[in-house]
Amino acid sequence: MSEDIAALVRQLAAVDRAERRAARDRLVGLGAPVVEHLLPLLGDEEGPGRSAAESCLQDLGATAIDPLRRVRSEGPGGLRPAALRALASLGGGDALGPADRAAVERLVRVKLLDESPGDLPAETWIAVPRAEVKDIVRALELHDARPVTTALGVSAAVHHENSLEHRSGDGTSSTEYRVFITPEFDGWRLVYGADYLNDYWAQAVEKLSAQCREAHFYAVDEYNGARVWWVSENGQDKRGHRTYGDPEWVGEPLEFERDLMQDEDDELYDPEEAEEYAEGVRDPEEVASYLSIQPTTVEVLDRVGHGWLAVTSPDVGHGRFRGALDI
């Protein structure tokens, strides 16, 4: 049996796609006994069979959890790191054993002491000035906020599964999300949650500005060529731009926008710049550079405190979200 499994695992690295697919299907059909044989491929990031091995484990799903836990507790030692990543990818924190969960929590506490956040993603984010974490949590009705490193928060709220379907005891279902609140940078906290902001950014900005007096939303969609930025104060829209919005502009130009607008009689009149800024500033990162902070510059800004990771439902803990997170 083991020799047959080993042959099929080698076949996962075959040049022919049909041969790889056939090997994967047969391995999945064999179930739990194949798991330990797949782990060496997962440990080789450049190996030709890695993606096929990951696909096998995903298809095995819950069947792979117990074998992976055995490797974590009994070895072999060389396969333990790959088993840990696979457990997190398949079942999230809930799939980890007590010892592994405790080890992760200890590592986070250690990293928090001297973390270097690095640059933050600049695709979709909210910026809130002079806000306490508790006020952001209250405004967005978040739950189970816990200290995390910036790397872990971004990984959880942006790069891995950050939304899931939850069925309540009464039979109703809802989509619940992970949200990351950054440390304070030069007086600003940023809020991330790829799926959450995609679905609820307008409501989130309104609620945050009502609670914290002011909130900004920024989004850059390179694939669709879309740009969005929005400023809300005390729960009311003040100024905003949406590439495909109807209307495209909301509110009156802000002071920094008026400074960039040119008349033909300006001494330094430039037709291209005059056209670009005729109605206002469209680029969210440029707006952020004037009004708040740019995510790509936080490494050089003054930082206070650490980040927090929260969920949108008290009935959905962090452990259900899948993904091998950075720390």
Asked if residue 32 lies in contact with residue 44, where contact means CB atoms within 8 angstroms, the answer is no
Higher pLDDT, 259 or 135: 135
Domain shared by 131 and 30, yes or no: no
| 143, β-bridge pairs | 311
Per-residue pLDDT band for 130 (boundaries 50, 70, 90) equals very high
Q: Considering 58, 81, 104, which residue would you say is the last residue of a domain?
A: 81
Torsion sign across C-alpha atoms 134, 137, 141, 147: negative
Decide if 234 is inside a domain.
yes
State yes or no: pLDDT of 43 exceeds 70: yes
Per-residue pLDDT band for 251 (boundaries 50, 70, 90) equals very high
Domain shared by 162 and 283, yes or no: yes
Q: What are the backbone dihedrals phi and psi of residue 47, each rounded to the nearest 5 degrees, phi first?
A: -65, 145
Phi-psi region of 146 (alpha: psi -120 to 50; beta: other; left: phi over 0): beta
Query: Given the structure tokens 């739950």, which residue do they identify?
Result: 143
What confidence tens digit (pLDDT) does each residue in 268-294 have? 667 777 788 889 999 999 999 999 999
Q: What is the tally of structural domains in the chain?
A: 2
Decide if 220 is inside a domain.
yes
Domain shared by 207 and 69, yes or no: no
Decide if 24 is inside a domain.
yes
State yes or no: pLDDT of 1 exceeds 60: no
Domain shared by 34 and 128, yes or no: no
pLDDT at 168: 85
Read off the pLDDT of each residue in 61-87 and give the average, rounded to a whole number: 91
State yes or no: pLDDT of 48 exceeds 80: no
pLDDT at 171: 82
State yes or no: pLDDT of 263 exceeds 90: no
Residue 10, number of CB atoms within 10 A of its CB: 13
Decide if 75 is inside a domain.
yes
User: Could you give the residue ranges of the DSSP H alpha helices within 17-172?
Assistant: 17-30, 35-42, 50-60, 65-74, 80-91, 98-112, 133-140, 150-154
279: which 2 tokens? 């109605």
Domain shared by 177 and 229, yes or no: yes
Decide if 326 is inside a domain.
no
Domain shared by 73 and 150, yes or no: no
Decide if 137 is inside a domain.
yes
pLDDT at 216: 98
CATH of the domain at 77: 1.25.10
State yes or no: pLDDT of 46 exceeds 80: no
Q: Considering 26, 48, 81, which residue would you say is the last residue of a domain?
A: 81
List the single range of 95-109, 174-188, 230-244 with lowest mean pLDDT.
95-109
Name the nearest CA neighbour of 147 among 176, 183, 116, 121: 183
Domain shared by 251 and 307, yes or no: yes
Per-residue pLDDT band for 264 (boundaries 50, 70, 90) equals low
The two beta strands, 124-129 and 236-242, are: unpaired
Domain shared by 207 and 297, yes or no: yes
State the chain's mean pLDDT as an integer. Answer: 92
- The type of residue at 284 is P
110: which 2 tokens? 């250690």
Domain shared by 304 and 181, yes or no: yes
Query: Given the structure tokens 């790509």, which residue do they identify?
Result: 296
**Residue percentage of the chain with pLDDT more than 90:** 71
Asked if residue 175 lies in contact with residue 165, where contact means CB atoms within 8 angstroms, the answer is yes
Per-residue pLDDT band for 23 (boundaries 50, 70, 90) equals confident
Tally: H helices and E strands in the chain: 13, 11
Per-residue pLDDT band for 13 (boundaries 50, 70, 90) equals confident
Decide if 327 is inside a domain.
no
pLDDT at 267: 65
The two beta strands, 303-304 and 163-167, are: unpaired
pLDDT at 138: 98
State yes or no: pLDDT of 203 exceeds 70: yes
Domain shared by 45 and 128, yes or no: no
Its domain, for residue 36, covers 2-81
The strand ranges marked E within 276-321 are 303-304, 307-311
Domain shared by 131 and 66, yes or no: no
- Structural element, H or E, at residue 181: strand 173-185
Decide if 54 is inside a domain.
yes
Domain shared by 227 and 153, yes or no: yes
Q: Considering 81, 105, 136, which residue would you say is the last residue of a domain?
A: 81
